């Protein structure tokens, strides 16, 4: 429970140890930060939107928003989850003055009168098709260990006033769609049946998926749900379905499933979408690695191919045995989109030495462009996670959002806009996640 998944959007069919979202990951224990005042401007009211088709747009104003799921906690020694930070977008990109802090105490649905202690962002999609993106979270409801556990997944519905206007509701998974006594986990959005409405897939016990057809009601109920889906040869519990996209061009999204939890090295394969949902396993698996993205990297631009990142940022492209050595170190994260707006998707790789590979007419360049990271107090090499590579300001150039962290007390979120000549040399926005919880 409580595993964080990160995702991003882009021209390539991307994932970020995650599902489809501008989400920040965290596999470390909850860090604590010294007592400090926020360096961000005073928070403003979320501007009201009228609904849009933009991805990750919680207030419906047409501009993508950012989810920060691994906030540095305030000092005081408490282990409570500090919550989820939301930075809302604008015509000029992310606006840190327009932000919200979503906490379990104020925004999680209680179970048997008890508010969950953890509140972890998982994925983003417009579950009720009202033009406002919704945030899917996992929690830790009370459970005595006997019989089938309660559903830990909750839904925060977007609105003209963003996500903070109401409490979450619990996802309702009918008994017929559940299997075994493991926690339903790792929710992934996708239109797996091709009807235009977002669906959800969550893990069940054994190699099975609970497939929930959308749209969803404001009480958390899916339109329909059948028996759990068995994907032959794929151990879904406790695997992480990390990404969903229409990879074979049949009008239905496909689901990537792995043989281990996010952040661990594992093989993966597709569950192919169909009018009945993701009911059929793909014919071939992908090589072992920590994470996989899909993009049109071959130069022809016609077919999405996988790129899998192994230890130290070793990349396998389209399953070929030849690898690109990036030397990024640490646990890799990947995101892909078109920075220069030249029709060729680029690839950002997180790690202790983050990097960018440019897309060309002949495929991904083998030239490794090192990404500068902010200086942080302390010793040891900091680790950088790619939070997003997507167009935040509407200029058709993908912008890069990084989270750099050293130890348990210091971090920095930086935003570098994309342009015709590539990424900006210096970030136009920089702040700490501790700013969300600072007094």
Digit-coded pLDDT (tens) for 276-291: 999 888 877 888 888 8
Site of tokens 């579950």: 127
| Whether residue 312 is found in the same domain as residue 432 | yes
* Nearest CA among 263, 257, 225 for reference residue 240: 257
Of 118, 144, 170, the residue at which a domain comes to its end is 170
Q: What pLDDT is stored for residue 138 in this prediction?
A: 95
Where is the domain boundary, 250, 284, 318? Answer: 284
Task: Using DSSP, state whether 345 is helix, strand or coil.
Answer: coil
Higher pLDDT, 204 or 221: 221
- Are both 176 and 166 inside the same structural domain? no
Indicate if 179 and 140 belong to the same structural domain: no
Distance of CA 423 to the CA centre of its chain: 22
**Tokens at 121, concatenated:** 């962002």
Per-residue pLDDT for 220 more than 80?
yes
> H or E element: which one contains 105?
helix 104-107
Cα–Cα distance, 102 to 265 (Å, whole number): 32
Domain ranges, residue 389: 290-438
If asked whether residues 309 and 371 sit together in one domain, one would say yes
Task: Give residue 16's pLDDT.
Answer: 30
Q: How far apart are the C-alpha atoms of 106 and 156, rounded to whole Å?
A: 12
- pTM reported for the whole predicted model: 0.89
- Same domain for 330 and 418: yes
* pLDDT value for 247: 82
* CATH at residue 333: 2.130.10.130
- Both 304 and 325 in a single domain? yes
Total domains, the chain? 3
Q: Looking at residue 380, what is its pLDDT? A: 85
pLDDT of residue 318: 84
Strand-pairing partners, residue 303, are none
Mean pLDDT of the chain: 85
Write down the pLDDT at residue 33: 45
| Long-range contacts at 373-380 (CB < 8 A, ≥ 24 apart) | 373/402, 373/404, 373/412, 373/414, 374/404, 374/412, 374/414, 374/427, 374/430, 376/404, 376/405, 376/406, 376/410, 376/411, 376/412, 377/406, 377/409, 377/410, 378/406, 378/407, 378/409, 378/410, 380/406, 380/407
Task: Write down the pLDDT at residue 15.
Answer: 32
Together in a domain, 356 and 296 = yes
Among 153, 170, 187, which residue terminates a domain?
170
Closest CA to 194 of 242, 127, 245: 245
Residue 234 has pLDDT above 70, yes or no: no
Quick one: 211 and 341 in the same domain?
no
Reply yes or no on whether the pLDDT at 127 is more than 80.
yes
Are 179 and 305 in the same domain?
no
Coil/strand/helix, residue 143: coil
Q: Is 174 helix (H, G, I), strand (E, B) or coil?
A: coil
- Computed on alpha carbons and rounded to an integer, the radius of gyration of the chain in Å comes to 20
Residue 381 and residue 247 in one domain: no
Average pLDDT over every residue of 380-402: 95
Tell whether 25 is covered by a domain: no
Structural domain contains residue 369:
yes
Q: What is the C-alpha to C-alpha distance for residues 6 and 55, in angstroms, rounded to an integer? A: 15
Asked, for residue 426, whether it belongs to a domain, the answer is yes
For strand 119-125 and strand 93-102, is the pairing parallel, antiparallel, or unpaired?
unpaired
Rounded Cα distance, 364 and 327, in Å: 16
Evaluate whether residue 32 is within a structural domain: no
Note whether residue 253 is domain-resident: yes
Q: Is the pLDDT of residue 99 over 50?
A: yes
58 pLDDT higher than 70: yes
The single-letter DSSP state of residue 58 is T
Residue 61 Ramachandran class (φ > 0 left, ψ -120 to 50 alpha, else beta) = alpha
Q: Identify whether 266 is part of a domain.
A: yes
Least confident of 198-207, 255-264, 289-298, 373-382: 255-264
Q: Is there a single domain that holds both residue 272 and residue 403?
A: no
Same structural domain for residues 279 and 297?
no
Supply the pLDDT for residue 288: 87
- Average confidence (pLDDT) over 56-85: 86
Q: Is the pLDDT of residue 152 over 80?
A: yes
Q: Is 29 a member of any domain? A: no
Q: What pLDDT is attached to residue 162?
A: 96
Q: What is the pLDDT of residue 60?
A: 97
**Spatial CA neighbour of 69 closest among 55, 56, 57, 86:** 86
4 domain residue, yes or no = no
Percent of the chain with pLDDT over 90: 59
Q: Which of 65-79, 100-114, 280-294 has the lowest mean pLDDT?
A: 65-79
Decide if 31 contacts 50 (C-beta within 8 A).
no
């Amino acid at each position: 429970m409580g595993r964080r998944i990160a995702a991003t959007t882009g021209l390539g069919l991307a994932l970020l140890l995650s599902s489809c979202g501008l989400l920040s990951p965290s596999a470390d224990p909850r860090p604590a930060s010294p007592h400090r005042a926020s360096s961000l401007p005073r928070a403003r009211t979320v501007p009201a939107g009228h609904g849009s088709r933009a991805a990750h747009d919680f207030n419906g104003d047409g501009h993508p928003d950012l989810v920060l799921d691994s906030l540095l906690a305030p000092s005081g020694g408490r282990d409570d989850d500090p919550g989820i930070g939301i930075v809302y977008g604008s015509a000029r990109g992310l606006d840190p003055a327009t932000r919200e802090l979503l906490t379990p105490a104020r925004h999680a649905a209680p179970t048997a009168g008890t508010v969950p202690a953890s509140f972890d962002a998982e994925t983003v999609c417009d579950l009720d098709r009202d033009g406002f993106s919704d945030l899917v979270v996992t929690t830790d409801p009370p459970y005595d260990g006997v019989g089938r556990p309660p559903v830990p997944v909750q839904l925060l519905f977007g609105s003209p006033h963003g996500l903070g206007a109401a409490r979450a509701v619990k996802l309702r998974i009918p008994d017929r769609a559940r299997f075994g006594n493991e926690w339903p986990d790792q929710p992934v959005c996708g239109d797996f049946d091709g009807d235009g409405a977002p669906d959800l897939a969550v893990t069940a016990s054994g190699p099975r998926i609970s497939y929930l057809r959308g749209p969803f009601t404001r009480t958390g109920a899916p339109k329909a749900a059948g028996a759990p889906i068995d994907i032959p040869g794929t151990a879904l519990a406790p695997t992480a379905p990390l990404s969903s996209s229409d990879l074979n061009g049949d009008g239905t999204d496909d689901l990537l499933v792995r043989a281990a939890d996010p952040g661990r090295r594992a093989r993966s394969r597709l569950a192919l979408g169909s009018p009945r949902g993701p009911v059929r396993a793909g014919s071939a698996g992908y090589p072992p690695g920590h994470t996989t993205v899909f993009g049109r990297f071959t130069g022809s631009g016609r077919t999405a191919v996988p790129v899998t990142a192994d230890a130290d940022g070793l990349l396998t492209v389209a399953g070929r045995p030849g690898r690109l050595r990036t030397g990024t170190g640490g646990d890799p994260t990947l995101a892909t989109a078109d920075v220069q707006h030249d029709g060729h998707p680029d690839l950002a790789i997180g790690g202790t030495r983050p990097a960018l590979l440019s897309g060309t007419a002949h495929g991904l360049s083998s030239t490794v462009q090192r990404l500068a990271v902010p200086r942080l107090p302390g010793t040891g090499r900091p680790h950088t996670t790619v939070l997003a590579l997507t167009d935040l300001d509407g200029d058709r150039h993908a912008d890069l959002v990084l989270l750099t962290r050293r130890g348990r007390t210091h971090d920095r979120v930086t935003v570098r806009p994309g342009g015709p000549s590539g990424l900006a040399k210096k970030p136009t926005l920089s702040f700490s996640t501790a700013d969300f919880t600072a007094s």
